[in-house]
């Protein structure tokens, strides 16, 4: 089964004070319902990040479920974001299904922002944790 929802918010943001970059989608403008946020640091992973296996991007869900390097595949075609997660990450993310499809009910500028942010975030950190990008 695939979890499907319509996202009213999509985009990417840099947070200099937190030294991170975020990109994501939200089901509602208030940020509730289904939420997927992809994040990475703006600096190279340090020894502690490597020791804790936090030397890659992370994904955060609405209930603050978090997993590092958990995306197997990702596609962003036109206005559809499709993400397939590692089965081992489902519990940490609070998800029942490994595949999520978000229909982006946003403007082209927001979709392009999301696309650029995901390219940068998903290429962060150790190469073995990077997902297969089918189209981005």
Average confidence (pLDDT) over 44-64: 90
Domain range for 27: 2-135
pLDDT at 124: 94
pLDDT at 2: 85
Which is more confidently placed, 1 or 70? Answer: 70
pLDDT at 46: 86
Q: Which of 126, 96, 123 is nearest to 3 (CA)?
A: 96
Average confidence (pLDDT) over 30-44: 91
Domain count, the chain: 1
The C-alpha atoms of residue 46 and residue 91 are separated, in whole angstroms, by 27
Q: Residue 87 in 3-state DSSP?
A: helix
% of residues, the chain, pLDDT over 90: 73
Q: Which of 32, 43, 34, 36 is nearest to 12 (CA)?
A: 36
pLDDT in tens, 95-108: 999 999 999 999 99
């Amino acid at each position: 089964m695939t979890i499907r929802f319509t996202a009213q918010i999509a985009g990417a943001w840099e947070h200099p004070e937190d030294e991170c970059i975020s990109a994501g989608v939200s089901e509602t403008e208030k940020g509730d319902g289904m939420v997927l946020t992809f994040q990475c640091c703006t600096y190279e992973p340090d020894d502690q990040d490597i020791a804790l296996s936090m030397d890659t991007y992370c994904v955060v869900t609405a209930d603050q479920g978090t997993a590092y390097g958990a995306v197997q595949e990702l596609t962003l075609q036109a206005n559809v974001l499709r993400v397939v997660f590692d089965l081992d990450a489902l519990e940490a993310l609070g998800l029942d299904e490994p595949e999520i499809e978000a229909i982006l009910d946003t403007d082209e500028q927001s979709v392009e922002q999301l696309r650029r942010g995901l390219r940068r975030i998903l290429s962060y950190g150790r190469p073995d944790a990077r997902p297969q990008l089918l189209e981005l």
